[in-house]
A = this chain, B = another copy of it.
Amino acid sequence: MAVTMNDVARAAGVSLKTVSNVLNDYEFIRPATKQKVLDAIAELGYEANLTARSLRSGKSRMLGLVLSDLSAPYYAELASRLMTVASARGYRVLVEQSAALEANELSALHGPFRQLTDGLLFTPLALDADTVADRRGSKPLVMLGEHIEDPRFDLVTMKNIGAAQAMTAHLLAGGRRRIAVLGAAMEDDAGSPGLRLTGYREALAAAAVDFDPALIVPSGWRRDAGASAVGALLDSGVVFDAVFGLNDALALGAMHELLIRGVKVPQDVAVAGFDDIDEARFASPALTTVAPGMEEIAERSVGLLIDRVEGTETSDEGVHIEAGFELKIRASAP
């Protein structure tokens, strides 16, 4: 059916292996021979069989991306960029959605997904460092976005603490004193929510503003979670003059609920988010948020992973990359 290397070899009057050598840029081939082979390839329309190549070589030129939910705007934008960067280096990205469930994250690390890829970009939400470290096999793994402080892993992340602190400081500078935080559990110390909450507390401390646990509302990270979290807060009668959503979707959901209930943004309550998804710019009012250097994260994480896969990067300790951030001050919290 399909044209194989054998057909090309026959057409070019050389051995099968010579065709392989041409395709793999083997050094010692006479230009004339090479040309014969290339001509035969062009004439027959030969395409290398990637599956066979992959079986033989053990490489698939695919990178795995494990995240909770591709429909979340931050992940969608990140995935899109990661694919573009990977593509430029000749790799494809295979996405696996974990729904932030431990079982799914485990199966992504251990199951067939791992086999199909040369390395993994992993956003752990349910698993802890030790569990991840126990994974079978030894394919490269780059942690993404989450801050699992562990020298065993490569990590590309953002300045969660610093950025949250800067944003909180901005809200404080705007005269806000009762800043509600949506999306973090109090006790939660690892992962983005905990880190961002830490940044928030540091900013409060620096400004000598009291920390009030009543302002901390645990919730999911989607729009509907933000809406119901802020709704519950309003219902509870807790007074607040700003809302810091630990991601943009959350913040936008919260802003929607505030406006629905007649709370003016930013006059009554300022709203800030985190991620700077495209949607934030076009919200009404436009959402003040943290741009966490997604471009940089995409480029460096894919770059690092491919370097690991190809053996270019060899350091024993995990490489640790932290992208810079930028505050985007917009109408929702000027």
Say whether A241 faces chain B, with CB atoms less than 8 Å apart. no
Complex interface: chain B residues within 8 A of A81 (CB): 71
For the complex, is A60 an interface residue (Cβ under 8 Å from B)? yes
Query: Which chain B residues lie closer than 8 Å to A69 at the CB level?
Result: 80
Instruction: Tell me if A71 and B284 are in contact (CB < 8 A).
Output: no
User: Which of B49, B55, B252 is in CB contact (< 8 Å) with A52?
Assistant: B55
Measured in the bound complex, the distance between the Cα atoms of B52 and A55 in whole Å is 6
Alpha-carbon gap, A285 to B71, bound state (A): 22
Interface: A95 (CB within 8 A): yes
Given contacts A52-B55, A54-B51, A95-B83, contact A71 B76 (CB under 8 A): yes
Choose among B54, B77, B222 the residue that contacts A71 (Cβ–Cβ < 8 A).
B77
Please determine whether B282 and A252 come into contact, CB atoms closer than 8 angstroms: yes
Among residues of B, the one whose C-beta sits closest to the C-beta of A222 is B278
- The stretch from A145-153, A194-202, A253-261 touching chain B is A253-261
CB proximity of A332 to chain B, nearest CB, Å:
10
Partner of A223, one of B2, B60, B281: B281
**A47-B115, A80-B69 given; A259·B284 CB < 8 A:** yes
Residue A204 at the chain B interface, CB threshold 8 Å: no
- Give A113 Cβ to nearest chain B Cβ, in Å: 8
Q: Does A116 contact B (CB under 8 A)?
A: yes
User: A282–B227 contact, CB under 8 A?
Assistant: yes
Determine whether the beta carbon of B97 is less than 8 Å from that of A83.
Answer: yes
Nearest chain B residue, comparing its CB with the CB of A55: B51
- The 11 sampled A-B contact pairs (Cβ below 8 Å) are A45-B136, A71-B278, A76-B76, A84-B97, A223-B278, A223-B279, A224-B282, A227-B282, A256-B282, A260-B284, A279-B279
